[in-house]
Structure 1
């Protein structure tokens, strides 16, 4: 039992430490997916978008190498399940994209802003957590489970064990699984690097380049922490299992469901079955990492709502993000970095929905 507790503690405290760095670096470099999309749509400026894409590239390369050398098994993650709930991923992603644009930032950005003193973002995260919890276990969950999730494709019927692009290639071409993984990861990585670094201005922005590398590497370390260090024998069942995560399987960074679990833990603190998990620890760590940067750079300041209309948009956006993030199984970090790093087809659909929802909302806001 003591070894089990130690494994869970390693995962939780390790996740917290990684999140401190994530929050500090993301705040310092102004890392923001919604901001990156807005820059492209409104100003045709690709600097922050290239930073996001570089973080994705590093995450894909690192995660694929861990998988190739047998250090982790991302096939056990929620992203790799052979059931492709394509409607949930697209609808959830689109709603999240709309919501984050109305709220002026995704879950990660609002965690960063809370660390910088934003009361507005604290309200956003509260409503996001309530909505996400309702989508996990409440009113929204029934509608999601009965209407959206059943519209799916069971890839196992076609002989595929997962929805990984590498697994799909291996099944279609007959290549060995590890070879297919190297091929897909290599092609995607090289293609992204070519696009990212063809821009001279981005190549010269050392802060964005290093920041993206660090953030992408943290996603990889999150996989290793929960999927290797936190993988051990359950003393009750004598089966190998993953400790310290809400999903009871391998995880890396994601911020929508963890905000809901954080709210649940605070409301039901005396429930001994609830514990601080990897996801909860990372959400808290991002806030404190951002706070550290705000204090260091002397940018900490309290920020409220600009108007009633601003409050309305923030609440609507937060509610859409909570439901959409759970339905799409992740946010701009949960799917946009962590899910994508597994090369899951569903993560591509979710990310496409997020981008489409955000772009459509930005264009609607700028229609005049």
Structure 2
């Protein structure tokens, strides 16, 4: 148990700290593609996948870990992915984004996090488990993209890595817009850790390395998997209700570590503050959290388990999930943000004409 606690917390603390300091949230990356026509943060998520793919398949080749993936639950991935995409826009953050923002003191994120845990627990272990199991029973025997096409996984690892490298180089060569920077109050390592603005690509590289580290540290406790958020979050809530200590695995301490690591980063950078949103936002946080937990449970993972880990393994589930995460995110963004902006512009134009 000590090994489970320490290894899970180590990875979680690192991940929570890096996510908070780098302001790394997948919903923003997906949303910006439509809202701002900006693919900068989306490319950062691809960097995480590329780095993790190299590390994970190298670990597997050396015999340190064994890569395991279930048959592709195509119906759950499609339906659940779309629902999750809508949910994370309403909640104001993806699964890990909600965890690290809760660590910053955002009460709306605490509400979203509780609802996320509740609906995930209901779908995985509770009243909705029969329905969730039925949806997930629709599977295809095709699991890995490279196996479908009769390729070595290294063909995809290398090709994807080269593609992302080219895109990163092109992005870094573009002219940078001037940014306002306050005079540093800290020096040395403290300035870098708690004050200096982190480049998204640096943050993504660190997240990719942490994702690799998660595999052997998880495997050492008997859990042969990488980062995962939804099931551990549901297990944490279920344990708090029924006291079943068998639920306290590596993943549970991972998500607890994410919250603690974010809190440490937020306190150190002076960004921690209890903030209560308005009633409308709280309503969005509540409904968004419920949709996220339900959707992620049907999809077999969130934007971490599917969007960053299963994609790095080049499973059909991971990449199909990303497509429907995007579609759900864009749908919610259109109805909650873009239409509102258009109505405001139309109203402003009518007022000016009058």
Fold agreement, TM-score > 0.5: yes
- 1:181 matched to 2:174? The reply is no
In structure 1, which of residues 164, 168, 171 is the aligned counterpart of residue 148 of structure 2? 168
Alpha-carbon distance between aligned partners in 2 of 1:202 and 1:71, rounded to the nearest angstrom: 40
Deviation of 1:265 after TM superposition, in Å, equals 1.4
Alpha-carbon distance between aligned partners in 1 of 2:92 and 2:98, rounded to the nearest angstrom: 9
What is the TM-score of this pair, normalised by structure 2?
Answer: 0.85
Does the CA-based 8 Å contact 1:68-1:181 persist in structure 2? no
Deviation of 1:348 after TM superposition, in Å, equals 0.9
Q: 1:214 to 1:202 in 2, by over 3 A?
A: farther
Give a deviation string over 1:129-179, Cα, whole Å, max 9, x none. Answer: 110011102222222222x22322234xxxxxxx1223333xx36xxxxxx
In structure 2, which of residues 92, 110, 123 is the aligned counterpart of residue 122 of structure 1? 110
Residue correspondence of structure 1 range 136-147 to structure 2 within 5 A: 136-146=124-134
Give a deviation string over 1:262-289, Cα, whole Å, max 9, x none. Answer: 11111123x4x43521111011101111
* Structure 1 equivalent of residue 165 of structure 2: 193
In structure 2, which of residues 19, 25, 44 is the aligned counterpart of residue 51 of structure 1? 44
Alpha-carbon distance between aligned partners in 2 of 1:20 and 1:91, rounded to the nearest angstrom: 32
- 1:354 matched to 2:325? The reply is yes
Structure 1, unpaired ranges of 5+: 1-7, 156-162, 174-179, 231-241, 243-248
Alpha-carbon distance between aligned partners in 1 of 2:93 and 2:201, rounded to the nearest angstrom: 22
Does the CA-based 8 Å contact 1:202-1:209 persist in structure 2? no
Give a deviation string over 1:286-332, Cα, whole Å, max 9, x none. Answer: 1111111111111110011212x222221111111011111111111
Residue correspondence of structure 1 range 144-159 to structure 2 within 5 A: 144-146=132-134, 148-155=135-142
- 1:215 matched to 2:203? The reply is no
What is the TM-score of this pair, normalised by structure 1?
Answer: 0.82
Residue correspondence of structure 1 range 1-368 to structure 2 within 5 A: 8-75=1-68, 80-81=69-70, 83-146=71-134, 148-155=135-142, 163-169=143-149, 172=150, 180-200=152-172, 207-227=199-219, 229-230=220-221, 242=222, 249-269=223-243, 271=244, 273-307=245-279, 309-365=280-336, 366-367=338-339, 368=342
Q: 1:275 to 1:346 in 2, by over 3 A?
A: closer
Deviation of 1:223 after TM superposition, in Å, equals 1.0
Give a deviation string over 1:60-93, Cα, whole Å, max 9, x none. Answer: 1111211222221112xxxx22x22101111111
Does the CA-based 8 Å contact 2:21-2:198 persist in structure 1? no
Alpha-carbon distance between aligned partners in 2 of 1:358 and 1:36, rounded to the nearest angstrom: 10
Alpha-carbon distance between aligned partners in 2 of 1:312 and 1:149, rounded to the nearest angstrom: 29
Count of residues in Structure 1 that have an aligned counterpart in Structure 2 = 319
Alpha-carbon distance between aligned partners in 1 of 2:300 and 2:41, rounded to the nearest angstrom: 24
Structure 2, unpaired ranges of 5+: 177-196, 343-354
* Structure 2 equivalent of residue 4 of structure 1: none
